[in-house]
């Protein structure tokens, strides 16, 4: 079966970024890449802050943050009054967990596709409160209907207080049927926290269409915002129960201000985040989504072919706009986190290529991303050189 053709490049898109041209950056999903015009907007805000810090922090900053919040919430299809800016999705998860009031006998349910730092946060909160953490196993080959049924069977009404589910998994690049899962949980009286770290900018689904009690998403990955920009969206019944991890001067103002205001934090990332959405809209949101997903699919096939992986064994991400794809590595490679990190570093050093090497279910996986600054020949070069590097065990 032939490899599907790559998409036509978006003219001028590569020039929007300051990435090192000597390196193939095929791992946008980890830390993103900030367009130059966004970098400059943030630097202007930093210059303003340093020119008169007292004025910057005390005259209108809260209003400026609220304005940025409303802009971002509108793009995401979220209620601005129920949206709070935060540092990253993991911080938002920690806020939710410590606001729940978990007690002995309560249970937090996650899946084996969850993000590692989120799992650590759940484990710590359960240790602190005496609650229980339980993990559902989702086979990578499961259909949407099968996933929903596994979740339905795994809920324990009266005991399961919170279900944490990924909208798009990080380790396995899998788009889960989130809205259907939320519906099942609601039928059983279970609250849901959706980890949508990769959703903003990549996925067209709105926050409202998901309908979760809590939704967290990063803007610095696929929304072209500076790093340190994320949102926590909270359903109305929960908003007054949300408490910040650190109490500061806006505590009495309620949600979302009590969560956002952290005194001398650097707010320039949040204030310049709307410029990232401007860059995305200038390129064409739908155009970028289609380009990135098509390019990631091309990379998956050419690298998979090079490693001898049949097309039928390449995982399907489950959605037409998913711009991350998995390629299984040969058996015995990257089976532990340390081994995965070592292989990722070796690929970066010897092949001048940044990729994500993941460990999941006892096997190593290569996660490839597609972004407007990438080109088909970068995946071709990786496919041509990677087999020899992997053979050097």
54 within domain boundaries: yes
373 within domain boundaries: yes
Residue 249 pLDDT: 85
**Which stretch of DSSP H or E encloses residue 232?**
strand 230-234
Residues 294 and 270 in one domain: no
Residues 63 and 44 in one domain: yes
122 within domain boundaries: yes
Residues 17 and 58 in one domain: no
Low-confidence ranges of the chain (pLDDT < 70): 1-2, 393
d(CA 328, CA 343): 14
Residues 148 and 46 in one domain: yes
- pLDDT one-digit tens code per residue, 50-106: 999 999 999 999 999 999 999 999 999 999 999 999 999 999 999 999 999 999 999
85 near 270, Cβ under 8 Å? yes
Domain count, the chain: 2
The set of residues, in sequence order, having a beta carbon less than 8 Å from that of 115 and lying 6+ positions away, is 89, 90, 166, 169, 170, 171, 195, 197
Q: Tell me the CA distances in angstroms from 44 to 61, 242, 267, 271, 272, one per residue in order.
A: 15, 33, 12, 11, 9
Residues 180 and 135 in one domain: yes
- pLDDT one-digit tens code per residue, 140-189: 999 999 999 999 999 999 999 999 999 999 999 999 999 999 999 999 99
In terms of DSSP bridges, do strands 324-328 and 230-234 run parallel, antiparallel, or are they unpaired?
A: unpaired
Residues 259 and 352 in one domain: no
Residues 166 and 292 in one domain: no
Residues 308 and 367 in one domain: yes
Please give the residue range of the domain that contains residue 353: 13-33+284-391
Residues 243 and 337 in one domain: no
The enclosing domain of 334 has a CATH number of 3.90.1150.10
Domain boundary among 217, 247, 278: 278
327 within domain boundaries: yes
The enclosing domain of 172 has a CATH number of 3.40.640.10
Residue 5 is given by DSSP the state: P
d(CA 235, CA 83): 9
Domain boundary among 228, 255, 278: 278
Residue 264 pLDDT: 87
Give the predicted TM-score (pTM) of the model.
Answer: 0.96
Residues 146 and 100 in one domain: yes
79 within domain boundaries: yes
Please give the torsion angle defined by the CA atoms of residues 30, 34, 35 and 40, in that order, rounded to the nearest 10 degrees.
Answer: -170
Residues 141 and 25 in one domain: no
Residues 205 and 326 in one domain: no
């Amino acid at each position: 079966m032939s490899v599907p053709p790559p998409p036509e490049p978006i003219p001028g898109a590569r020039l929007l970024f300051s990435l090192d041209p000597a390196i193939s950056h095929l791992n946008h999903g980890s830390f993103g890449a900030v367009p130059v015009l966004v970098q400059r907007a943030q630097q202007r805000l930093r210059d303003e802050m340093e020119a008169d810090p007292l004025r910057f922090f005390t005259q209108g900053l809260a209003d400026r943050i609220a304005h940025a919040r409303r802009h971002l919430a509108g793009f995401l299809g979220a209620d601005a009054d129920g949206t709070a800016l935060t540092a990253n999705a993991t911080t938002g998860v920690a806020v939710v967990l410590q606001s729940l009031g978990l007690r002995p006998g309560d249970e937090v349910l996650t899946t084996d596709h969850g993000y590692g730092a989120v799992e650590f946060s759940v484990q710590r909160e359960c240790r602190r409160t005496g609650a229980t953490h339980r993990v559902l196993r989702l086979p990578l080959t499961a259909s949407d209907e099968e996933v929903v049924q596994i979740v339905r069977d795994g809920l324990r009404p009266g005991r399961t207080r919170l279900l944490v589910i990924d909208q798009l998994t990080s380790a396995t690049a899998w788009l889960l049927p989130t809205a259907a899962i939320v519906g099942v949980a609601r039928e059983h009286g279970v609250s849901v926290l959706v980890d949508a770290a990769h959703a903003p900018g990549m996925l067209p689904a709105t926050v409202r269409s998901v309908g979760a009690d809590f939704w967290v998403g990063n803007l610095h990955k696929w929304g072209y915002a500076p790093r340190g920009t994320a949102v926590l969206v909270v359903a109305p019944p929960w908003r007054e129960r949300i408490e910040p991890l650190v109490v500061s001067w806006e505590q009495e103002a309620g949600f979302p201000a009590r969560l956002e205001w952290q005194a001398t934090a650097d707010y320039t990332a949040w204030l310049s985040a709307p410029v990232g959405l401007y860059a995305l809209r200038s390129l064409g949101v739908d155009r970028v989504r289609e380009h990135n997903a098509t390019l990631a699919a091309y990379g998956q096939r050419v690298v998979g072919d090079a490693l001898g992986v049949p097309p039928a064994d390449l995982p399907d991400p489950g959605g037409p706009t998913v711009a991350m794809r998995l390629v299984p590595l040969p058996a015995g490679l990257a089976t532990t986190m340390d081994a995965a990190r070592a292989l990722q570093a070796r690929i970066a050093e010897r092949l001048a290529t940044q990729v994500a090497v993941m460990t999941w279910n006892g096997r190593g996986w290569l996660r490839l991303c597609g972004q407007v600054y990438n080109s088909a020949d970068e995946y071709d070069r990786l496919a041509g050189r990677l087999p020899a590097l992997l053979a050097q065990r």
